[in-house]
Amino acid sequence: MNDLKVAVAQFQPENGDKKYNLSVIENLTALARDQGADAVSFHELCITAYTFLKDLEVPQLKQLAEPVPGGPSCRYLVELARQYQIVILAGLLEIEHNRFYNTYVCVDGHGLKARYRKIHPFINKYLSAGDEYVLFNLHHWKCGILICYDNNVIENVRATTLLGADVIFAPHVTGCTPSPMPGRGYVDDSIWQNREHNPEALRKEFDGRKGREWLLRWLPARSYDNGVYYVFTNPIGYDGDQLKNGNSMIIDPFGDIMTEIRGFDDSIAMAVLTPEKLKQAGGYRYRNARKPELYRDILGQDHQAVLKPVWMKNSAE
């Protein structure tokens, strides 16, 4: 297994404007390829934008949703992958048999390599949940996908790792929302609007508990405990009516940040993934030391899942 050069990309999407969002995806894909990337990863639902979906009804969702892989956005991504000779990972709203899914795809110039449907969707009551994990090969690396909230449920990460994943792609739209955790909450719009004149104030907000500090409480832990590379992507600026802090990053199996986007503009960052870290990391040893006979029945007990993020508690059911 050779080294793998991966780029994370972040940008500010336009609500429902697939033409615009795909044009930005093309520009950043070209930039990633110019810098030698083998693959480029974008954020959750980057083709349509995400947060504004919370207010849409079925007819509006149908106008945005597409089949996978036969829809126009997937076909366009495949053409971009062929043109730039790079693997592309991106998110879109999928429709199949009149059911909607928050879906993330991986394509190359030959077509669809992987499709993953978010297991814990909540942004819109008409979205259906995915019901399976995914594992696919990327230049001989075994890769998995978990979308946003899916990564907060640690069993999802462990299961994907036990299936054989060396890399977990983690597309998000997250950060800067209310939470019981002290210091969390929205970032004031005036700070964003004044970012060119006072970037330090915005960076302080984005780097604090509302954004980066919260990410660093759990993203490195997912990598470290499981001994996998984590490829985290997140929009920068407004997604719907919510300001997002970006901080797209790649974390190695030791839980160390290899690269991170620190700016406020559309951008990419790159890291080289090396196979030797996968077995050097503590997480590799911890997986081998497991005694599943002790907790197999405990972890498999029946459980009624409840999912309602704090910031959505006042939204319409």
Alpha helices (H) in 6-132, listed in sequence order: 18-34, 58-64, 72-84
The pLDDT, as a whole number, for residue 157 is 98
d(CA 151, CA 172): 9
Which two structure tokens, joined as six digits, stand for 167? 């890399």
Q: Is residue 23 within 8 Å of 73, Cβ to Cβ?
A: no
Domain count, the chain: 1
20 in a structural domain: yes
The pLDDT, as a whole number, for residue 317 is 36
Q: How would you classify the pairing of strands 267-273 and 4-10?
A: antiparallel
What's the whole-model pTM score?
A: 0.96
317 in a structural domain: no
The pLDDT, as a whole number, for residue 316 is 41
d(CA 30, CA 17): 20
Write the DSSP string, 56-92. Answer: --HHHHHHH-B-TTTSHHHHHHHHHHHHHT-EEEEEE
d(CA 126, CA 148): 18
What domain range is 166 assigned to?
4-312
Alpha helices (H) in 186-234, listed in sequence order: 189-193, 199-207, 212-226
CATH number of the CATH domain containing 73: 3.60.110.10
- Mean pLDDT by groups of 10 residues along the chain of 317 residues: 97 98 98 98 98 96 97 98 98 97 98 98 96 97 98 97 98 94 94 96 97 97 98 97 97 98 97 98 96 92 85 57
